[in-house]
Amino acid sequence: MTALDRIVETDAVRRLRERDPSLFAEGLDARIPIVQRLGWTDLAAKAPGRLPLLDNLSAAIAAEGVTDVLLLGMGGSSLAPLVISRIIGGAEDRPRLHVLDTTSPIQVRDTLAGLNPAASFVLVASKSGTTIEPLSLYAIVRAWLEAAGMTRAEAGRRCAVITDQGTPLEKLRQRDLMRTTLSAPVTVGGRYSALSMFGLAPSAMIGVHLPSLIGRAQAMEDACTAPAPENPGALLAAWIADAWEAGRDKLTLVFSAPLEPLGLWIEQLVAESLGKDGRGVVPVIEYGLPGTAALGADRAIVVTRFTADEGSAGWSRDTALAHPVIELTVTDVYDIAAEFVRWEHAIALAGPLLGVNPFDEPSVTEAKQATNGILDGGAAEVPKAQADLGGTWTTFAGGLAAPDIAPADRASAVRHTLAALAETDYLVVLAYLPEDERVLAPLRDAASQVATATGRPVTLELGPRYLHSTGQLHKGGPNTGVFILVTARDRVDLEIPGQRFTLGALHRAQAEGDLVTLGRHSRRVLRLDLPSSDPAEVTALAADLVAACSEEP
C-alpha cells in the first residue's frame, strides 16, 4: 500500500482539517497534548484580521524615524521572518530587518555597532517566553539603548514582544514598560507559526505587502483541504514517506538561487518534526545544482524553482533519470507563503506515516538542559581534548573512538572521522561561528567538495541556530550522522545584565552541551576548537576538510 493510499484509508486530510488529535496520537508517544498544537491549519484565513494592528504599529514606528528593526529570536520565532526578508525584502521607505538568532559575541557586537539606537526598534520573540537566547540578547540590547541616553520609558517604547499570552516574557514586557505585546495563538507551535505574529509582524514593519503574502497562503490553505489525490500537502507527504520507506531518507532541497533561504525554514520543519524515536528524514540544503557524484542512492530530491528557471528545470529532468525528483514551481517571491502552508500540511501528515509525533521536540529540551548544567558548573561532563594540533584542541567523542595512532595534524583527524562514514550516513559540520560570509563561505565550499569526494550528504549548520532545528534530528533520529563540531576560543565577550554568565560563556556552553548530548546518544563526534574565528583560521580549516578527502595521509 502506498503512502497516499494510507492517507486516504485513514481519512487523514479530513481529520487534520477537523483537528482530530487521534490522527497523531494513535500508536505514538504523545509527550504533549496534540490538540494544543493544531491551531495552525487556518492561520492564513485568520491573518487579514491582524492587518489593522500591524499596519498601525508599522506606520507609527516609521513615523518615529525608525530605520532598523532588530529581531531577537530563535528557531520558529525567527526563521520565517528571516526567510521572508531575504527572499522578498522590504520597501525602500521602511526599516531594514536584522535578525539576531545567535549567541556569538562577535556577531552581536558587530550588529549593534552598525545600528543607531535612536533609530532602532527591537522585537523580542519567544513562544514560551523563557528561551534563553532572546532573553539574554534583550538584556544586552536594552542596556545598549539606555547607554545611548534613553530613559527607561523611552527605551521601553522602542521594544515590543511576540509571545503567547501569560508567558514570563509578557510579564517582563509589563515590568520593563515595553510598548506592546503581539500575541500568538497558544495552539500553534513555533515551527508552524510562519503566518502568525511571529512571521507577520516583522514582515509588516519592513514593508512586505502582507495582502499578497496572505493571499497566496490562503489559496494553498484551501487547496490543502481537498481530497488526498488532489491535495498539494498530502501529495508531498506521501512522496516523502514513500521515499523514506525505500531507504531514500536524505531529503535534498534544491532551489532557484533567489529562493535558497527558504531551505532554512523547511530544514527546521522537517528535521524537528520528523527526527525522533530513532527515525527521521534528513533535510540536505544544496546551494547551487549539485553534480551527480554527490548524489547517492539514499537521496530524494525536491526542486523548488521559478517557472521561468529553465536551468533548474533541465537539471531536474536529467536527475530524475536516476533519483526520485518532485518539482514545486512558484511564479514569484510571494509564493513562498504558499510553500509555508504546503510544507506544514505535508510534514504534519508525514508524521503518522513515519510513526512519529510531528509536534514535539524532546531532544531540543535535552540539549537545553545540558547547556544549563554546564552554566551551573557541570563542565566536568564535557569530554576533554585529546590533542593540540597546531593550536586546535581536538576531541574524539561519543561513538567516535580516537585513532590508535595520534593524528599528526588537523587533516589527519578529519580523515579519521570521514572514515567512520557508512554508505547510508551523512556528515554534519556544526559551526559555532559568527554568521559572516568571510567565515562561512569557505566552509560551505568545502562541504560541497567533501560531498562530491565521499558521495555522502554534507550539511553545514550554524550554532546555536541548529539547536532549535536539526538538533532534534541529530540526537533523536537514526544514528547515521557523523559530526564535526567547530568552536573557537575568541576573546571578544559581552556581559549579560542580570546574569551570572557572559554571552561568550553561553555560546560555548551551548556547543559543549550539544557535545555532551550527542555523546549520550552515542553519536560520532569530532570537536575542533580553533584558536579564534578569524576568517583566515576558518579558511585554513576548510582547506583541511578538503585535504582529508585525499586517499593518502
- The pLDDT of residue 380 is 77
Q: What's the average model confidence in pLDDT over 467-495?
A: 97
- The pLDDT of residue 360 is 86
Residues 368 and 342 placed together within one structural domain of the fold: no
Residue 532: Cβ within 10 Å count: 15
Residue 86: Cβ within 10 Å count: 16
Burial of 145 (0-12, 13-18, 19+ CB in 10 A): buried
**345 pLDDT exceeds 60?**
yes
- Which of 68-72, 185-189, 400-404 holds the top average pLDDT? 68-72
Domain closes at, from 300, 333, 354: 354
Stated pTM of the model: 0.96
**220 domain-assigned:** no
Residues 316 and 383 placed together within one structural domain of the fold: no
Q: What secondary structure letter does DSSP report for 95? A: P
**63 domain-assigned:** yes
Residues 237 and 198 placed together within one structural domain of the fold: no
- The pLDDT of residue 447 is 97
**218 domain-assigned:** no
Domain closes at, from 354, 375, 405: 354
Residues 296 and 347 placed together within one structural domain of the fold: yes
* CA atoms 316, 319, 322, 323: torsion sign: negative
Residues 265 and 304 placed together within one structural domain of the fold: yes
Residues with Cβ < 8 Å from 65, sequence gap 6 or more? 118, 119
- The pLDDT of residue 394 is 97
Domain closes at, from 181, 208, 235: 208
Instruction: Please give the tally of structural domains in the chain.
Output: 3
pLDDT digits (tens, 9 = 90+) for 110-146: 999 999 999 999 999 999 999 999 999 999 999 999 9
- The pLDDT of residue 32 is 55
**471 pLDDT exceeds 80?**
yes
**418 pLDDT exceeds 60?**
yes
Please state whether 177 falls in left (phi above 0), alpha (psi between -120 and 50) or beta.
left
Q: What's the average model confidence in pLDDT over 65-72?
A: 98
Domain boundaries, position 12: 3-27+227-354
pLDDT digits (tens, 9 = 90+) for 328-343: 999 999 999 999 999 9
Cβ–Cβ < 8 Å for 191, 273: yes
Cell 500500500, residue located: 1
Burial of 276 (0-12, 13-18, 19+ CB in 10 A): buried
pLDDT band at 26 (very low <50, low <70, confident <90, very high): low
Across the beta sheet with 392-398, the strand order is 387-389, 392-398, 524-530, 481-488, 426-431, 458-462
Lowest mean pLDDT among 1-10, 20-29, 305-314, 334-343: 20-29
Task: Say what the alpha-carbon torsion angle 196, 202, 203, 205 is, to the nearest 10 degrees.
Answer: 130
**33 domain-assigned:** no
Cβ–Cβ < 8 Å for 257, 312: no
- The pLDDT of residue 28 is 43
**553 pLDDT exceeds 60?**
no
Please state whether 89 falls in left (phi above 0), alpha (psi between -120 and 50) or beta.
left
CA pair distance 207, 62, nearest whole angstrom: 10
**32 domain-assigned:** no
pLDDT digits (tens, 9 = 90+) for 197-229: 999 999 999 999 999 999 999 999 999 999 999
Query: In this structure, which amino acid lies at residue 347?
Result: I
- The pLDDT of residue 31 is 47
Residues 71 and 202 placed together within one structural domain of the fold: yes
Residues 103 and 200 placed together within one structural domain of the fold: yes
Residues 412 and 493 placed together within one structural domain of the fold: yes
Nearest by Cα to 30 from 483, 382, 388, 352: 352
**217 domain-assigned:** no
- The pLDDT of residue 364 is 85
**34 domain-assigned:** no
Burial of 540 (0-12, 13-18, 19+ CB in 10 A): middle
Quote the percentage of the chain above a pLDDT of 90. 92
**292 pLDDT exceeds 50?**
yes
Cell of 275: 527526527
Residues 334 and 436 placed together within one structural domain of the fold: no
Residues with Cβ < 8 Å from 222, sequence gap 6 or more? none
**516 domain-assigned:** yes
Cβ–Cβ < 8 Å for 198, 125: yes
- The pLDDT of residue 550 is 80
Cβ–Cβ < 8 Å for 142, 178: no
Residue 408: Cβ within 10 Å count: 12
- The pLDDT of residue 27 is 41
Higher pLDDT pick, 1 / 503: 503
Residues 376 and 293 placed together within one structural domain of the fold: no
Cβ–Cβ < 8 Å for 191, 37: no
Residues 47 and 152 placed together within one structural domain of the fold: yes
Q: What secondary structure letter does DSSP report for 227? A: -
Write the DSSP string, 25-79.
HTTS--SS-GGGG-TTTTHHHHGGGGHHHHHHHHHHHHHTT--EEEEE--GGGTH
Cβ–Cβ < 8 Å for 484, 430: yes
Nearest by Cα to 190 from 139, 236, 125, 98: 125
- The pLDDT of residue 133 is 97
pLDDT band at 551 (very low <50, low <70, confident <90, very high): low
pLDDT digits (tens, 9 = 90+) for 366-393: 888 999 999 998 777 899 999 999 999 9
CATH classification of the domain holding 147: 3.40.50.10490
R_g of the chain, CA atoms, integer Å: 23
Instruction: Give SS3 for 362.
Output: helix
b/e per residue 103-139 (b: at least 16 CB within 10 A):
bbbbbbbebbeebebeebbbbbbbbebebbbbbbbbb
**318 pLDDT exceeds 60?**
yes
Residues 469 and 501 placed together within one structural domain of the fold: yes
**85 pLDDT exceeds 80?**
yes
